[in-house]
Amino acid sequence: MSEKRPHVSLTVLQLEELFDLNIEEPRVLRELIFELNHRKVPSAKALLKRVETTYTGLDARPLQSKTGAQLESLFKTANGDRETLRELLHELKFRKTQTSRVLQLEVEMATRGGTT
């Protein structure tokens, strides 16, 4: 990455909003890490830890590239498979849509012994 700081003019609050809107975008997360490493205030350091943790965790999300419809289909065909349900639940925790939240509740119920 070049030494340019595309987010230098943003406040920490604005950087946090950018993070929330781009939580699944590795390029934006790398830019945020780069920018936050130049910041010294405690709120920036705290955000840096969150962004780094999320960025590192992207590799731990095998279902990240799946669409919402694909996740729903996977849930319907999981037949109670604990590992599949665990991966689904993990991925859905990163999703912000209402559909994803509803599916997350369904997966949580299924992991507790409900029906799929």
User: In the listed set 42, 60, 78, which residue is the last one of a domain according to the structure?
Assistant: 60
pTM of the full predicted structure?
Answer: 0.52
- Distance CA(48)–CA(53), nearest Å, equals 8
Q: What is the mean predicted confidence (pLDDT) over 6-31? A: 93
pLDDT at 61: 77
For residue 5, is it within any domain? no
Longest dimension (CA), the chain: 53
What is the total count of domains within the chain? Answer: 2
- Res 116 pLDDT > 60: no
91: containing domain: 68-111
Q: Is residue 101 part of a domain?
A: yes
Same domain, 74 and 106: yes
Q: Which of 23, 39, 60 is the last residue of a domain?
A: 60
Evaluate whether residue 4 is within a structural domain.
no
Confidence of residue 1 (pLDDT cuts 50, 70, 90): very low
Name the CA dihedral angle for 86, 48, 44, 10, rounded to a multiple of 10 degrees: -90
Give tens-digit pLDDT for 72-109. 999 999 988 988 998 899 899 888 899 999 999 999 99
